[in-house]
Amino acid sequence: MTGLPLVTLVTFLPAIGALVVAATPTSRPNLARYVALGFALAAWIVSLVLLAGFSPAGPAFQYEESVAWIPAFGINYAVGVDGLAIVLVVLTTTLTWISILASFSPIQHRVKEYMVSFLVLEVGMTGVFVARDLFLFYIFWEIVLVPMYLIIGIWGGKNRIYATIKFVLYTLVGSLLMLVAILATAFTYQNAHPGDWTNAFDVASLTTAGAAGMFGGTFGFLAFGAFFLAFAIKVPMFPFHTWLPDAHVEAPTAGSVILAGVLLKLGGYGFIRFALPLFPEAAHTWAPAIIVLSLIAIIYGAIVALVQPDLKKLVAYSSVSHMGFVTLGIFVFQEQGMQGAILQMVNHGLITGALFLLVGVIYERTHDRTIAKMGGLGKAVPVYAAALGFFVFASVGLPGLSGFVGEFLTLLGTFVASPAAAVVATFVMIFAAGYLLWMLQRVAFGELSDFLKGLGSHLTDMKPVEALTLVPLGVLVVVFGLWPGLILDLVSGSVGAALAPVQAFAESAGPIALGLWR
Amino acid sequence: MTFNDIVSLAPFIAAVLLSAAILVVDIVFPGRRGPALVTTFLGLGLVAVLVAITGQTASTAFGGAYKVDDLTTFLDLLFIAIVALTMAFAPDYLEERGLPVPEFAATIVFAMSGAMLLAASGDLLVLFLGLELMVLPGYVLAGYHKTDGYSTEGAVKYFLLGSFSSAIFLFGLAFMWGLTGTTNIDGVREALGSMPLSPGLGMGLAMLTTGVAFKIAAVPFHYWTPDAYQGSPTPVTGYLSVGPKVGAFALIIRLFGQGLVDLAIDWNAVIMILAALTMTLGNLVALTQDNVKRMLAYSSIAHTGYMLVGLAAFGAGQIRGMEGLLYYGAAYAFMNLGAFAVIAALQRRAGVTSNLSTFAGLVRREPVLTWLMFLFLLSLTGIPPTAGFYGKFLIIVAAVDAGGVNSWLYVLAVLTVVNAAIAAFYYLRVAVYMFMRDPADEAATGMRHGGLVWTGLGVSTVMTLALGLFPGLLLGLVGSAAAAVLLLQ
C-alpha cells in the first residue's frame, strides 16, 4: 500500500482537471477536449488502482483518510471506500470518460465550459460515494446539482430550460429536507453524548448508534421520511419520477448517460448506505409502502415505455421500470435481494448508458428520434443495428448478459419476503421484453423507411470513436453476465453490514407487514 | 469624561473624523476622485486597526452608555468591510452618471459611524442616536441620483416610512424608560427581569418590534424596500441591502438580545411569526420579478427572514442562534455586495437597465463577470460549498437544536429549507438568462472595468468561497461575539 491519499486523488483529480481546462484558450476547443479526457482517464486509472488494491477479505472500509474540518461541530473531511463504494466509483469514472469521449463530436459550441461542467460533476459523484462524513456527503450531493443544471440547460434540446429547472427544483426540495434530517440525526447523537459534537457527523459512529436503535420511534420515522424523499426523487421512484423523462429527453447524449448511469444510483446508494443502517426501525415500518411503490414503478414505467413514440423517452421510462427493481431489491431486506439491487444498479448504468449512446448516434445522423420514422436500420447500418440489438437484449434480461443476473437475484430475494410481489414483478418483465423488442423490431427490421432513405449518404454506420465508447460497456455487460461473482464478492460485506441492523430489528418485530401481499 | 472613555471611543471618533477629512480633501482637490478615494481607503484601514486594538479588551465608557466587547468588534469590522466594498465598486458607476464621488464617500462613512455607534451602545438613547446617524445618510444616498425621478421617489418613500418607524421606535423606548426608570440597557434588563407582562410593557414591546421590523424590512413592514432599492443608484442599493440591515440587526441584538432578553418568552412568538412571513412572502414575491434589482430587494427581505430564524432560536435559549445570525450577516454581506457589484459593473454605461433582459447571453460578453455572478447566486441560494450555505446551515442547526425547547422551531427549520428551494427558482432564473438565452443585442460587447471594481469583486469572491469552505476562520470570532451578547457588564 502506498502512502498516497488515493481516494482524495480520485475525487479531486477531475477538479484539478476542471481548473486546467478552464485555463485553456477558448479558441482551441480541441485542447479542452483532450485535456478533459486526459484527466477523466487519469481518474479512471486511479480508481482501477484502488480497485486492484482493495481486498474483500480485509476491513470493511479501506483507504480511509480523515482530517478535522469544522471541529466546532465535529465535522471531518473523512473519506474511504468499501466494496459497494469502490464498485460505484469505478462505474462513475468509467462512464465519465466514455461520456466525455462521446461528447467530442456532438458538442460543438462552448466546449470549454462543457468539459469543466463534466469534470466538476465527476467530483460531486465520486465524492458522494466515498464520503464517510454525513456533512461532507451532503456537500458532494449538492455539488452534483450545479453542473448537471448547466449541462441540461445549456447544451440540451428545445425544452431544455423547463427540463433543467424542473430537475433542480425537484432534487433541491428533497435534498434540503434531507439536510434537516441530517442535522436532527446529528443532534440526537450529540444529545446522547452530552454536549459533545465529536463524531456527530461520522457515518461509522452514526451507523453503530443506528444499529443500537438510537434513531427510532417518531423521530426515526420522520427522519427516514426526509432521507427517503431525497433518495426517492433521485432514483426516481414513482410518483417522484416526473422530472426524469423531461431531463433525459432534453439532456445532451452524454448528460443522459451520466444521469442514467450514475446520478440515479446516488439514490440507491443513499438507501443502502444511510437510510437502512441509520433507521432500521423506520425502514422496517416504511418497507411495505416502498415495495408497493417499487412495484408500481416497475409496472408503470414499462406500460408508459410501451407507448412512447420517442426513442429517448422510451429508454427514459424503461429507467423508471428498471430502477424499480433496485428499490424493490433493497427493501425486501434479503441478501440476494440487495445483491441483485446492486448488480441491477451497475447493469442499468452500463446498459442504459449504452442505449442512450446509441440513441445519440442515430440522432446525430437523423436529427430525429421518432420511432415511427425509423425502420430497416439493419439493412442500412448493420453494425449499429447489431449493437442496438445486443444492448436491447441485455436490457430485456437475456441470460448470459448482466441484466439477467441482477433481476433474477432481486426476484429471488423478493420471493422469500413476498411471493405475491415477486410474481407481479416477474410478469412485468414480459412487458419489458415487449416494449424493447417491439422498439427493436420497428427500428431495425423491415425495409428502410422513406425518411431514412431521404437522408441518403448522411446515414453512415458507426464511426470508430462511437464504437470505442460502446465496446467497453459491451464487454462489461458480458463479463458481469457470466461472472456476476466479480461484483458480488466485492459487495457482499457491504450488503451484510447494511442489512444486519434491519434484519436484527425484524427478528424482534416480525417480518415486514405486507398484509395481503404475503 | 476620562481619558479611558476617549480610548474606548477612538474608532468611532476616527470614523467621524474620516468623514470630515474626505470633505476637506474634496475642498483641496475639488471634484477629483483619486485623493478622496485614497483618503477613504487609508482612513477605513486606520479605523479597522483601531477597532482591532480597542477590541482587545472589553471596556465601557460614559457610565456604560458605550460598550466595547467582542460583539462590537465583530460588527464594526463587518461595517467597515461593507463600506470598503461599496466604495470599491461605486466610483465607476457614479462617475459615468456625473455624480460626485467624494461626497458619496463622506456620506457613506457617516452612515458607518452611526452603525458603529449602534453596535457599541449600552444605552437606549445612544441606541436611538446611532440608529438615526446610520439611516439619515441612507436617505441621502437613496436620492443621490437627484435628476432621476425614480431615485428621488424611492428616497422620499424611504425617508417618510423610515422617520415614521423611528418615531414609533422612540415611543417604544419611552415606554421602556417609563417602566424601568433607566435608559441603561443592563439596567433595563435587571428592572424587567421579573416583571409580568402588563399592558404598558406589551405596548412598549409592540412598538419596539414594529419599529425594528420596519428597519430590517420584515413582512408586513417591508413596503418601502422594493421602491427604495430599485430607485437607488445600484451601488447604493447594494449598500442599503446589507449595511443598514446588519446595523438594524445590531440594534435588535443590543435591545432584544440584551435589554429584553429575559422577556424572550413574550417576544419570541412574534419573532417566529415575523420570520415565517418574511421569508415566505419575500421569496414568493421575488418569483414574479423581472427586474434583477427589484428581485434582489425582495430576496433581501427573505434573507431577513432567515436571520430572524436565528434570532428566534436565540430567543428560545440557543446561543447558536446568535452565532448563526452573525455568521449569516457576514456571509450575506459579501455575497449580496458581490452580486450588486456585478450589476453595477454591467450598468456602468448609463442607460443600461437592470432588467432580466440585460443578462441574456451575458456569458458571451462578460464571461468572468457571469461566472462570478453565478457563484454569488449559488451562495445566495445556499448551495455548498459557499458562504450562504454555511450561514443557512448554522441557522438551521440552531433552529433544530432549539426545537427541543419550542417545537415550532422545527417547523421554522423546515420552512427555511422549503424557502431555500423556492429561492433557487428565481436565482437560477438569472442564471438561465446568463447562460442559456441568446443576447438581445449582439453588438453590445464587453466593457472595461476599473481595477478597483475587480479588487472589490475579488474580495467578495474569496470571502464567499472561504466562508463556505473554511468556516472555522470566522467561527471563533462569531462565537466570542455571540458569547458577549449574554455577558452582563
ipTM for the assembly: 0.84
Q: How many angstroms separate the CA atoms of B337 and B235, rounded?
A: 9
Tens of each residue's pLDDT in chain A, 518 residues:
457 788 888 899 999 999 998 888 888 888 888 999 999 999 999 999 988 888 887 778 888 888 888 888 888 888 888 888 999 999 999 999 999 998 888 888 888 889 999 999 999 999 999 999 999 999 999 999 889 998 998 888 888 888 888 888 888 888 888 888 898 888 888 888 877 778 888 888 888 888 888 888 888 888 899 999 999 998 888 888 888 988 888 888 888 999 988 999 999 999 999 988 888 888 888 888 898 899 899 888 888 888 888 888 898 998 888 898 899 999 888 888 899 999 999 999 999 999 999 998 888 888 888 888 888 888 888 888 889 889 998 888 888 888 888 888 898 888 888 888 888 888 888 888 888 888 888 888 878 888 877 777 777 888 888 888 899 999 999 998 888 888 888 888 888 888 888 888 877 776 665 544 44
- Interstrand relation of A75-81 and B66-68 (parallel, antiparallel or unpaired): unpaired
Q: In the beta sheet, which residues pair with residue A78? A: A66
Residue numbers in B near A146 (CB within 8 A): 378, 383
Q: How many angstroms separate the CA atoms of B459 and B108, rounded?
A: 20
8 Å CB contact between A292 and A304 = no
Count Cβ atoms below 10 Å from residue A364 Cβ, excluding itself.
15
Host H or E run for residue A63: strand A62-70
Q: Which residue of A has its CA nearest to B410?
A: A180
Residue numbers in B near A149 (CB within 8 A): 428, 431
Confidence band for B106, pLDDT divided at 50, 70 and 90: very high
- Distance, in angstroms, between A230 CA and closest chain B CA? 13
Query: Residue B7 burial by CB count (10 A; 0-12/13-18/19+): exposed, middle or buried?
Result: middle
Q: What is the mean pLDDT of chain B?
A: 88
Query: At A409, which amino acid appears?
Result: L
Q: Does the beta carbon of A221 lie under 8 angstroms from any beta carbon of chain B? A: no
Count Cβ atoms below 10 Å from residue A202 Cβ, excluding itself.
22
What percent of chain B shows pLDDT beyond 70?
98
8 Å CB contact between B206 and B274 = no
Residue in A83, A38, A91, A34 with CA at minimum distance from that of residue A63: A83
- Distance, in angstroms, between B147 CA and closest chain A CA? 40
Count Cβ atoms below 10 Å from residue B193 Cβ, excluding itself.
10
Q: How many angstroms separate the CA atoms of A364 and A361, rounded?
A: 5
pLDDT score at B258? 86
8 Å CB contact of A139 and B475: no
Q: Packing angle between helix B451-469 and helix B367-381, nearest 10 degrees?
A: 40
Q: CA neighbours within 13 Å on the CB side: how many for A514?
A: 23
Q: How many angstroms separate the CA atoms of A331 and A272, rounded?
A: 9
**B interface test, pick of A135, A141, A183, A188 with most B CB neighbours within 10 Å:** A183
Enumerate chain B positions whose Cβ falls within 8 A of a Cβ in A.
Answer: 363, 378, 383-385, 389, 393, 396-397, 400-401, 404, 413-414, 417-418, 420-421, 424-425, 428-429, 431-432, 435-436, 471-472, 475, 479
Q: How many angstroms separate the CA atoms of A18 and B174, rounded?
A: 60
Any residues with CB less than 8 A from the CB of B24 and at least 6 apart, and which? Answer: none
**Would you say residue B107 has pLDDT above 90?**
yes
**B interface test, pick of A123, A139, A188, A227 with most B CB neighbours within 10 Å:** A139
Helices (H), A259-381: 264-270, 276-278, 280-306, 311-331, 335-366, 377-380
Read off the pLDDT of residues A464-481 as tens digits, 9 standing for 90 and up.
888 888 999 999 999 988
8 Å CB contact of B401 and A165: no
User: Given CA atoms A110, A116, A119, A123 in this order, what sign does their dihedral have?
Assistant: negative
Q: How many angstroms separate the CA atoms of A27 and A293, rounded?
A: 50
Confidence band for B439, pLDDT divided at 50, 70 and 90: confident
Q: Does the beta carbon of A222 lie under 8 angstroms from any beta carbon of chain B? A: no
**B interface test, pick of A166, A172, A187, A219 with most B CB neighbours within 10 Å:** A172
Hey, where are the domains in chain A?
304-518
Q: How many angstroms separate the CA atoms of A441 and B17, rounded?
A: 85
Hey, where are the domains in chain B?
3-486
In the predicted model, what is the mean pLDDT of residues B139-149?
Answer: 87
* Residues A286, A287, A289, A292, Cα dihedral to 10°: 170
8 Å CB contact between A461 and A382 = yes
pTM for the structure as a whole:
0.89
Host H or E run for residue B467: helix B451-469
Number of residue pairs across A and B with CB atoms under 8 Å? 75
Residue numbers in B near A145 (CB within 8 A): 383
8 Å CB contact of B384 and A161: no
Q: What are the φ/ψ torsions at residue A449 (nearest 5 degrees)?
A: -70, 160
Read off the pLDDT of residues B370-400 as tens digits, 9 standing for 90 and up.
899 999 999 999 888 899 999 999 999 889 8
CA B367 remoteness from chain centre: 29
Q: How many angstroms separate the CA atoms of A367 and A348, rounded?
A: 26
Q: What 3-state class would DSSP assign to A370?
A: strand
Q: In the beta sheet, which residues pair with residue B123? A: B184
**A interface test, pick of B306, B320, B436, B473 with most A CB neighbours within 10 Å:** B436
8 Å CB contact between A357 and A442 = no
Q: What 3-state class would DSSP assign to A133?
A: strand
Residue numbers in A near B465 (CB within 8 A): none
Beta strands in B307-354 (DSSP E): none
Range in B239-248, B262-271, B288-297, B344-353 the model is least confident about: B344-353
Any residues with CB less than 8 A from the CB of A223 and at least 6 apart, and which? Answer: A181, A184, A185, A215, A278, A279, A282
Q: How many angstroms separate the CA atoms of A387 and A479, rounded?
A: 16
Read off the pLDDT of residues A404-456 as tens digits, 9 standing for 90 and up.
888 888 988 888 888 888 888 888 888 888 888 888 888 888 788 888 777 77
Q: Does the beta carbon of A168 lie under 8 angstroms from any beta carbon of chain B? A: yes
Cell (9 digits) for B403: 426545537
- Distance, in angstroms, between B92 CA and closest chain A CA? 28
Count Cβ atoms below 10 Å from residue B291 Cβ, excluding itself.
17
- Distance, in angstroms, between B101 CA and closest chain A CA? 36
8 Å CB contact of B436 and A70: no
Host H or E run for residue A465: helix A464-482
Residue numbers in A near B389 (CB within 8 A): 142
**Would you say residue B488 has pLDDT above 70?**
no
CA A462 remoteness from chain centre: 27
pLDDT score at A502? 83
Q: Does the beta carbon of A146 lie under 8 angstroms from any beta carbon of chain B? A: yes
Residue numbers in B near A153 (CB within 8 A): 431-432, 435-436
Q: Which residue matches cell numbers 433525459?
A: A248
Count Cβ atoms below 10 Å from residue B205 Cβ, excluding itself.
20
CA B458 remoteness from chain centre: 20
Confidence band for B339, pLDDT divided at 50, 70 and 90: very high
